[in-house]
Amino acid sequence: MRKPEIRIIGITGLPEVRPGDDLAWMLVGAADVQGTPLQGGDVLVVTQKVVSKAEGRLIALDSIQPSEFAQTIARQYDKDPRHVEVVLRQSRRIVRMDRGVIITENLLGQVCANSGIDASNLAEAGYLALLPENPDRWCLEAKAKTQALANADIGVVMSDTFGRPWREGCTNVAIGVAGMPAVVDYRDQVDTSGHILRASILAIADELSSAAELVMAKLDRIPAAIVRGYPYAKAEGKASDLLRAPEEDMFR
C-alpha cells in the first residue's frame, strides 16, 4: 500500500506581474529555474491577486464617481465612497452590512467581504484589484499552456482569501478550478465501520487552496504553489460546484 504523502512547493522568483504578462508561462519557467518543474498529476494553486494583475483587472480610484448610495454607506462606515462604489458595481446583492463590513454576493456568485476587492499587494497606490473575469476559464487556459510547455497534465486551482462565519481567521478557498473535481462526493459509500455516508461531500479544491497558502503566506511574494502527491480523478470541475444552491441554503 502506498504511503500517503503530499508535498507543497512554493514557486519563487517571479518579478512584479504586470498587465498583459503571460502568467502561466512565467510560473512554468520559475518552477523550472528553482528545480521543481511541474509534473503530471501536480496541482498548481495560483492566487487570485496575481491573475488579476496579469489580466489588468485594476481600477484607479480617481476614475470612480460614487453614487449617492455609495456615499451614504461610506459615511456610515467611514470608508472611501469610491471603494464602496466599486464593491457595489461588482456585486449581485448585499448580503449584510454591519460593524464596517460589507458582505456581498459578487458577480461570480461567491459570498465574501467587499465583493472580493481590495488594494493589498498592489505596487501602485490609489488602485483596487477586481477579481478575474472568469477564473475557471483562466485555470483551463493555464492547464493547456502547462501541457504544451512542460508536457505535464495537471490540475489548476485559483485561490482567494475569505473570512468565515462563526469562526475566527481567514482561509484560502478556490474561486477557479480546471482539470480536477472541485468536490468529491462520498454519499452512499460505506465507511470502515459499515455505515452508509449520507452527507459527506468534501470541498477538495478549497482544502488544496488552504494547504497551499501555508507556503505562499501573505507577505513573502510567493503567488503560487505546486501540490504534489495528492491523488485526484481527472475531471472538468468548476468553481460553481462549490456554491450551495439557494434552495439548500439554510442561512440565505
The tens digit of pLDDT for each residue in 161-192 reads: 999 888 999 999 999 999 999 998 766 666 66
Calpha distance 115→89 (Å, rounded): 9
**Residue 1 corresponds to which cell in the numbers above?**
500500500
Instruction: Provide φ and ψ at 198, rounded to 5°.
Output: -110, -25
Instruction: Write the DSSP assignment of 39-59 as a string of letters.
Output: -TT-EEEEEHHHHHHHTT-EE
Residue 146 has pLDDT above 90, yes or no: yes
pLDDT the model gives residue 100: 82
Calpha distance 209→46 (Å, rounded): 8
Residue 50: CB atoms within 10 Å: 23
The DSSP symbol for 116 reads G
- Which pairs from 242-247 meet CB under 8 Å and 24+ separation? 242/173, 242/174, 242/182, 242/183, 242/203, 242/205, 242/206, 243/109, 243/110
Q: Which residue has the higher pLDDT, 49 or 217?
A: 49
> Reduced to 3 states, what is the DSSP secondary structure of residue 238?
coil
Calpha distance 16→27 (Å, rounded): 12
Residue 245 has pLDDT above 90, yes or no: no
Calpha distance 76→89 (Å, rounded): 19
Residues in the chain: 252
Calpha distance 43→27 (Å, rounded): 13
Calpha distance 174→45 (Å, rounded): 9
State the CATH architecture for 7-55+133-245. 2-Layer Sandwich (3.30)
| CA atoms in the 13 A half-sphere facing the CB of 36 | 18
> Reduced to 3 states, what is the DSSP secondary structure of residue 160?
strand
pLDDT range class, residue 4, cuts 50, 70, 90: confident
Residue that has been written with the C-alpha cell 444552491 in this structure: 245
Residue 120 has pLDDT above 90, yes or no: no
State the fold for domain 59-128.
Answer: CofE-like fold (3.90.1660)
Calpha distance 120→31 (Å, rounded): 25
The region of weakest confidence among 93-97, 142-146, 243-247 is: 243-247
Residue 103: CB atoms within 10 Å: 18
Residue 231 has pLDDT above 70, yes or no: yes
The residues facing 106 across adjacent strands are: 91
Domain-wise residue ranges, the chain: 7-55+133-245, 59-128
Calpha distance 71→66 (Å, rounded): 6
